[in-house]
């Protein structure tokens, strides 16, 4: 059994070659297809970034027009999904519903099982990107007990999503373009992140030839946990629990205490050991949104800023290279826009869908990729004879 490399948590194993996303954790660099995340978040739109991540190059104006049009043709959900939804408790966690609903959608597109057919593969990608906002908005409306609002194709991707979430009817949509831009930027910042846990899960599930929607459902399941996508919800819970600036030292002390499992949510990253370049943009965006909505004096923002300041100076966090990550500020933005915190990870999943599909497609096109099958170091009992019941 000694012939295998022991690498729990895969800290030193490259599972694939990839051309999609580059991260330099020491320098705090994140590139999609070579383009720095700060430039994409500052200048591009989310559909443009989706096109880039999927196809490798930035779209021309007409490429982007065609891509947007095609997405808009696929925004509706099959009406049979209504019946599926009715089975969920109204107070179900939105991530539980999303995991189930994405998997259920595989049943409507059996053709996507044929991974040899490029048109089926392309359609599955478009469908997932187009239907995720509709599905996520529907989950929000379901938990609120409100009527579902249809997609509106004359709106941008982010505007349409906000409209489906926050209008009461498809006609009463009225959102500040700056809020729509903040939503779009949130999507861009979460679009892909190389071989993180959920993406590796999608690749592993897909490596058996599973349906792409089922592979993405596996990714959604993995994203749910608080060490990964669930950190945005956990972070906002934590900020509320801290509640006021004077209680911060107590929580910092708990985070440092070896006998306390508490961690500062939104801090630390497996790869970034300098800063998380997504957090830099998210921080700016949080300030913009709170300014715009007149929420600058919110106690929660004060707690977040003071927590960040103290942690960045604290020896424990400095020594362990723990910096605010993307999830530290995202919850503040989403909360200000009006999303219940249980929806935060759903929004992360919506945005990460493009990364999951692009990575899945790359794997399917890669002749070196076989079914993923890690080995183990066996530490259990040596071979022994079965003992009959009356002799135990």
What is the token pair recorded at 361?
């497609």
- What minimum distance in Å lies between the beta carbon of 232 and ligand CMC? 8
Chain positions 306 to 345 lying near ligand CMC, rule: CB under 6 A, are: 320, 322, 325-327
209: left (phi over 0), alpha (psi -120 to 50) or beta: left
Contact status, residue 180 vs residue 162, Cβ threshold 8 Å: yes
Contact status, residue 217 vs residue 102, Cβ threshold 8 Å: yes
Binding region for ligand CMC (CB under 6 A) out of 42-50, 87-95, 258-266, 294-302: 258-266
Binding characters for ligand CMC, 365-384, by CB under 6 A (x = yes): --------------------
Residue among 154, 157, 110 nearest 136 (CA): 157
Q: Check if 327 is active-site.
A: yes
Q: How many CB atoms lie within 10 A of CB 278?
A: 27
How many residues bind ligand CMC, per CB under 6 A? 20
| CA–CA separation, 359 and 54 (whole Å) | 9
Among positive and negative, which fits the CA dihedral 345, 348, 350, 354? negative
Catalytic site residue from 327, 335, 366, 390:
327
- What minimum distance in Å lies between the beta carbon of 323 and ligand CMC? 10
228 binds ligand CMC (CB under 6 A): yes
Length of the chain, in residues: 392
| CA–CA separation, 391 and 387 (whole Å) | 6
Catalytic site residue from 269, 287, 314, 366:
269
| CA–CA separation, 74 and 91 (whole Å) | 28
| CA–CA separation, 324 and 280 (whole Å) | 9
- What minimum distance in Å lies between the beta carbon of 352 and ligand CMC? 9
Residue in 13, 80, 169, 227 binding ligand CMC, rule: CB under 6 A: 227
Residues 6+ apart with CB under 8 A from 352: 190, 191, 192, 193, 198, 199, 219, 223, 229
| CA–CA separation, 5 and 276 (whole Å) | 30
When the beta carbons of 133 and 355 are compared against ligand CMC, the nearer one is: 355
When the beta carbons of 270 and 309 are compared against ligand CMC, the nearer one is: 270
- What minimum distance in Å lies between the beta carbon of 229 and ligand CMC? 5
Residue among 2, 7, 11, 16 nearest 366 (CA): 16
- Give the CA radius of gyration of the chain: 22
When the beta carbons of 26 and 57 are compared against ligand CMC, the nearer one is: 26
Chain positions 171 to 210 lying near ligand CMC, rule: CB under 6 A, are: 196
When the beta carbons of 149 and 221 are compared against ligand CMC, the nearer one is: 221
What is the token pair recorded at 25?
């954790």
255 binds ligand CMC (CB under 6 A): yes
229 binds ligand CMC (CB under 6 A): yes
267 binds ligand CMC (CB under 6 A): yes
What is the token pair recorded at 276?
């998380």
When the beta carbons of 133 and 268 are compared against ligand CMC, the nearer one is: 268
Q: Which residue is nearest to ligand CMC (CB)?
A: 268
Residue in 100, 151, 266, 331 binding ligand CMC, rule: CB under 6 A: 266
Contact status, residue 10 vs residue 201, Cβ threshold 8 Å: no
Identify the three-state secondary structure at position 204.
helix
- What minimum distance in Å lies between the beta carbon of 253 and ligand CMC? 11
Binding region for ligand CMC (CB under 6 A) out of 43-51, 146-154, 222-230, 333-341: 222-230
| CA–CA separation, 370 and 209 (whole Å) | 10
Chain positions 102 to 121 lying near ligand CMC, rule: CB under 6 A, are: none
- What minimum distance in Å lies between the beta carbon of 40 and ligand CMC? 17
Residue in 50, 155, 210, 265 binding ligand CMC, rule: CB under 6 A: 265
Binding region for ligand CMC (CB under 6 A) out of 70-78, 96-104, 257-265, 364-372: 257-265
Q: Point out the residues that are catalytic.
A: 269, 327
The residues that touch ligand CMC, with contacts defined as CB under 6 A, are: 9, 196, 227-229, 231, 255, 263-270, 320, 322, 325-327
């Amino acid at each position: 059994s000694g012939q295998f490399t022991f690498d729990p948590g895969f800290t030193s194993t490259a599972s694939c070659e990839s051309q999609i996303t580059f991260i330099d954790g020491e320098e705090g660099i994140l590139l999609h297809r070579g383009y720095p995340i700060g430039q994409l978040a500052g200048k591009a739109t989310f559909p443009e970034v989706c096109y880039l991540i999927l196809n490798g190059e930035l779209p021309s104006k007409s490429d982007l027009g065609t891509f947007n049009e095609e997405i808009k043709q696929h925004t509706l959900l099959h009406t049979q999904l209504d019946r599926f939804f009715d089975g969920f408790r109204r107070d179900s966690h939105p991530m539980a519903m999303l995991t189930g609903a994405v998997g259920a959608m595989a049943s409507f597109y059996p053709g996507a099982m044929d991974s040899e057919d490029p048109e089926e593969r392309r359609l599955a990608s478009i469908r997932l990107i187009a239907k995720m906002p509709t599905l996520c908005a529907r989950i929000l409306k379901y938990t609120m007990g409100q009527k579902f609002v249809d997609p509106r194709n004359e709106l941008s991707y982010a505007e349409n999503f906000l409209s489906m979430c926050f209008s009461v009817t498809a006609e009463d949509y009225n959102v500040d373009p700056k809020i729509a831009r903040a939503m779009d930027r949130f999507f861009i910042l979460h679009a892909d992140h190389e071989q993180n846990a959920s993406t590796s899960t999608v690749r592993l599930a897909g490596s058996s030839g599973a349906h792409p929607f089922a592979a993405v459902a596996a990714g959604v399941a993995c994203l749910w946990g608080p060490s990964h996508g669930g950190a945005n919800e956990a972070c906002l819970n934590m900020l509320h629990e801290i509640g006021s600036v004077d209680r911060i030292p107590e929580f910092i002390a708990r985070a440092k205490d070896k006998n306390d499992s508490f961690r500062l949510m939104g801090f630390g990253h497996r790869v970034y050991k300098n800063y998380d370049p997504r957090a830099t943009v998210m921080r700016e965006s949080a300030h913009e949104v709170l300014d715009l909505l007149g929420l600058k004096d919110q106690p929660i923002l004060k707690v977040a800023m003071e927590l960040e300041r103290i942690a960045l100076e604290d020896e424990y966090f400095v020594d362990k290279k723990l910096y605010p990550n993307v999830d530290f500020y995202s919850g503040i933005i989403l909360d200000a826009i009006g999303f219940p915190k249980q929806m935060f990870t759903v929004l992360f999943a919506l945005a990460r869908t493009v990364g999951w599909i692009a990575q899945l497609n790359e794997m399917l096109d890669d002749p070196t990729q076989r079914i993923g099958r890690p080995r183990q170091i066996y530490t259990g009992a040596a071979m022994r004879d079965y003992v009959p019941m009356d002799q135990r």
